[in-house]
Amino acid sequence: MSTDWTHQLVIQFDDESGTALDDVIEFEDELMELLDGVAEVEGHDTGTGTASIIILTDRPKKLWERLEPIVEEADSKGLQPVAAAFCEIEDDEYEVLWPSDFEGEFSMM
């Protein structure tokens, strides 16, 4: 497995209620199994009204193509996906991949 990943892909879920963390961790575990050797699930984070899964990869757009249908079905696991975005590892300027009509600024804060 590569240790020199170039990008991080962040998938955010609604957590206004502050109760999504357990479901996010369970979903994160599923992604770890699915992505073994292709990308590295770095972990999760919670912030103002969102819970995020952070994935390290060299090909964020290609990876998102693979993950999009899985993430869109996360609501069946009690999660409401909000956005998916990526940036270079050394940067914090995110490019939103999903949804296509995303408005506002993507933030990890």
Q: What is the pLDDT of residues 21-68, one digit of tens each?
A: 999 999 999 999 999 889 999 999 998 899 999 999 999 999 999 999
> Residue 63: exposed, middle, or buried by beta-carbon count in 10 A (0-12, 13-18, 19+)?
buried
pLDDT at 28: 95
Give the relative orientation of helices 60-72 and 21-35 as an angle to the nearest 10 degrees. Answer: 130
CB 57 within 8 A of CB 39: yes
List b or e across 84-96, with b for residues whose CB sees 16 or more CB atoms inside 10 angstroms: bbbbeeeeeebeb
Q: Is this model's pTM higher than 0.75 or not?
A: yes
pLDDT digit string, tens, across residues 89-102: 999 899 999 999 99
Residue 2 pLDDT greater than 60, yes or no: no
Tell me, which fold does domain 8-98 have in CATH?
Alpha-Beta Plaits (3.30.70)
What ranges do the domains of the chain cover? 8-98
Nearest to 81 by CA among 66, 95, 94, 68: 68
